[in-house]
């Protein structure tokens, strides 16, 4: 009604609604035709560069003899693992390549001022840059798009999950630093066709990588050294980028699980020297300790980098520790033999052993010599007594007393015999005590030698480790 009256004629209600709907349809059609797909920026872009997209098989240069320069940027995102047995390093890196496409140039004002356009990767020629050390199939995620700048610059970024071989040196495990190379190089295009250029400095790559380095796991990134280099192929030279990734192991896990338990067992072994040999079964104690250590070695075997080319120092440490334990067991057997066997057979202590061990050894280890003094004291009064008795007996002359004298002599002989018996017993006890003392001094001496050797071993090892 209102619409009709404004134009000076009147329309019924159904007529006006019909005209309104016609007008709406016309309006939409005008709008749709303006938005038609064939007229969009994208369609015009594709139409404009159709030839470029068709010829994506060839490098984007005007002249075949021209070299394509590719700028490359690499960052290390994470170290996913290092397999010492197979010498394999798994890393995750970000690689961005950019080059100039000589035919993909436009004026941004033609395309609503757009100067950066994302295109599917399969529409353009792509370099075949790969990491040469790769030993496993590429499980990197696909990147479906790349960016093209209106100046023709193509920016192609790609994450790479790299399983690469790396020559490891596990000698200083778990305090080792590994250096693994990653060489980014074209597989087919040699240096007359494609040249890779590194546009960052090593410091730049290192600091950026450290900033984004995600994992706080076993490995700590120390440095990445990057260089351009020429890689000699069979019949051409390839221009490639060599990255040397330096990583350091965080040793805490291994210190807690390998070194400290082993050190505890070793200290127990050293302390067990203070157990008395004659009244305690030290040998079986040491045997148990050795058994415990062997069990420990079996359990931790899987934690060690078992690589036949280099035996890690820690393996030598375990082996030498076991050797020390075996040696200390042998020492205990020797001491037990000296003390018990010789004492039971009641062999006299040889003179040389007496002078060397009981004189010098005792002085060296501050051992007192009470037994020998006791022996000398017990010896002298006995000799004096018998001679006195004999002379007294002979001096009393009368015959009546002869019987009594004979009786007394007999008694004296018996007593003498008992004395001799006691003396023999004393001597045996004394021999036993002497052997015991020899055993103690020998034990002290061997323990000191053991300690000296062990200290020297620890010193050598720590110097080697911390060097
Ligand atoms: C291609 O480039 C090379 C050097 O870059 C030049 O010598 C040669 O004449 C060029 N060829 C054509 C057809 O433009
Ligand atoms: C490559 O790097 C050089 C030097 O930084 C720069 O001049 C050039 O424009 C870069 N090329 C591309 C395609 O990014």
Q: What is the pLDDT of residues 358-412, one digit of tens each?
A: 778 777 776 655 444 444 444 444 444 545 555 555 555 577 788 898 899 999 9
Q: Ligand 2 mean position to 61 CA, how many Å? A: 16
Q: Ligand 1 mean position to 105 CA, how many Å? A: 21
Q: Is the CB of 99 under 6 A from ligand 2?
A: yes
Q: Ligand 1 mean position to 63 CA, how many Å? A: 6
pLDDT for the residue numbered 85: 84
Q: Is the dihedral of CA 158, 161, 167, 172 positive or negative?
A: positive
Helix, strand, coil percentages, rounded to 5, for the chain: 55, 20, 25
Q: Ligand 1 mean position to 64 CA, how many Å? A: 8
pLDDT for the residue numbered 429: 86
Q: Ligand 2 mean position to 202 CA, how many Å? A: 17
For the chain, report the end-to-end CA distance as a whole number of angstroms. Answer: 100
Q: Ligand 1 mean position to 65 CA, how many Å? A: 6
Closest to 413 (Cα-Cα) out of 395, 381, 389, 449? 389
Q: Is the CB of 380 under 6 A from ligand 1?
A: no
> 433 to each of 255, 273, 349, 375, 419, how far by Cα in Å?
46, 20, 10, 11, 20
Two tokens, residue 126: 């792509």
Ligand 2 atom closest to Cα of 154? 13
Identify the CATH assignment for 60-250 out of 2.70.170.10, 3.40.1350.10, 3.30.70.3270, 3.40.190.10: 2.70.170.10
The residue to mutate among 61, 62, 65, having the most atoms of ligand 1 within 8 angstroms of its beta carbon, is 65
Number of C-alpha atoms within 13 angstroms, CB side, residue 277? 26
Which residue owns the Cα nearest ligand 1 atom 10? Answer: 63
Q: How many of the other CB atoms lie within 10 Å of CB of 154?
A: 21
Q: Is the CB of 63 under 6 A from ligand 1?
A: yes
**Cα–Cα distance measured from residue 93 to residue 239, given in angstroms and rounded to the nearest whole number:** 20
Using 70 as the pLDDT threshold, list the residues of the chain that sit under it. 1-35, 307-308, 343, 346, 366-397
Q: Is the CB of 64 under 6 A from ligand 1?
A: no
pTM: 0.73
Q: Is the CB of 200 under 6 A from ligand 2?
A: no
Domain-wise residue ranges, the chain: 60-250, 252-467
Q: Ligand 1 mean position to 71 CA, how many Å? A: 23
Q: Is the CB of 71 under 6 A from ligand 2?
A: yes
Q: Is the CB of 98 under 6 A from ligand 2?
A: yes
pLDDT for the residue numbered 122: 93
Q: Is the CB of 62 under 6 A from ligand 1?
A: no
Number of C-alpha atoms within 13 angstroms, CB side, residue 238? 20
pLDDT for the residue numbered 1: 39
Which residue owns the Cα nearest ligand 1 atom 13? Answer: 63
Ligand 1 atom closest to Cα of 64? 1
pLDDT for the residue numbered 11: 46
Two tokens, residue 196: 């890779």
């Amino acid at each position: 009604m209102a619409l009709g009256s404004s134009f000076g004629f009147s329309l019924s209600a159904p007529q006006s609604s019909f005209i309104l709907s016609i007008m709406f349809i016309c309006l939409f059609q005008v709008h749709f035709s303006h938005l038609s797909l064939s007229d969009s920026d994208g369609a015009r872009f594709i139409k404009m560069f159709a030839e470029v997209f068709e010829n994506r098989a060839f490098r984007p240069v005007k002249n075949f003899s021209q070299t394509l320069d590719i700028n490359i940027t690499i960052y290390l995102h994470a170290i996913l693992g290092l397999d010492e047995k197979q010498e394999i390093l798994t890393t995750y890196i970000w690689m961005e390549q950019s080059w100039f496409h000589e035919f993909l140039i436009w004026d941004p004002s033609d395309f609503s001022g757009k100067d950066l356009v994302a295109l599917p990767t399969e529409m353009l020629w792509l370099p075949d840059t790969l990491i040469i050390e790769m030993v496993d199939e590429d499980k990197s995620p696909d990147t479906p798009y790349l960016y093209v700048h209106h100046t023709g610059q193509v920016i192609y970024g790609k994450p790479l999950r790299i399983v690469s071989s790396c020559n490891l040196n596990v000698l200083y495990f778990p305090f080792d630093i590994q250096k693994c190379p990653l060489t980014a190089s074209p597989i087919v295009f040699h240096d007359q066709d494609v040249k890779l250029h590194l546009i960052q400095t090593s410091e730049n790559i290192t600091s950026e990588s450290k900033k984004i380095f995600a994992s706080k796991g076993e490995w700590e990134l120390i440095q990445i050294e990057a260089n351009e280099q020429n890689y000699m192929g069979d019949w051409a030279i390839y221009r490639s980028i060599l990255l040397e990734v330096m990583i350091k192991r965080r040793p805490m896990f291994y210190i807690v699980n390998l070194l400290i338990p082993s050190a505890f067992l070793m200290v127990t072994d050293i302390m067990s020297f203070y157990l008395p040999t004659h009244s305690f079964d030290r040998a079986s104690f040491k045997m148990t300790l050795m058994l415990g250590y062997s069990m420990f070695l079996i359990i931790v075997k899987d934690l060690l980098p078992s690589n036949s080319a280099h035996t890690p120092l820690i393996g030598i440490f375990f082996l030498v520790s076991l050797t020390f334990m075996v040696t200390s067991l042998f020492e205990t057997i020797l001491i037990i033999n000296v003390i018990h066997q010789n004492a039971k057979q009641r062999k006299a202590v040889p003179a040389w052993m007496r002078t060397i061990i009981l004189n010098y050894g005792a002085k060296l280890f501050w051992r007192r010599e009470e037994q020998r003094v006791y022996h000398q004291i017990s010896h002298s009064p006995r000799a004096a007594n018998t001679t006195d008795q004999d002379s007294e007996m002979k001096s009393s002359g009368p015959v009546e007393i002869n019987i009594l004298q004979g009786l007394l002599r007999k008694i004296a002989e018996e007593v003498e015999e008992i004395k001799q018996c006691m003396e023999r017993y004393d001597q045996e006890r004394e021999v036993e005590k002497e052997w015991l003392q020899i055993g103690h001094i020998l034990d002290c001496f061997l323990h000191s030698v053991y300690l000296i050797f062990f200290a020297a071993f620890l010193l050598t090892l720590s110097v080697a480790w911390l060097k």
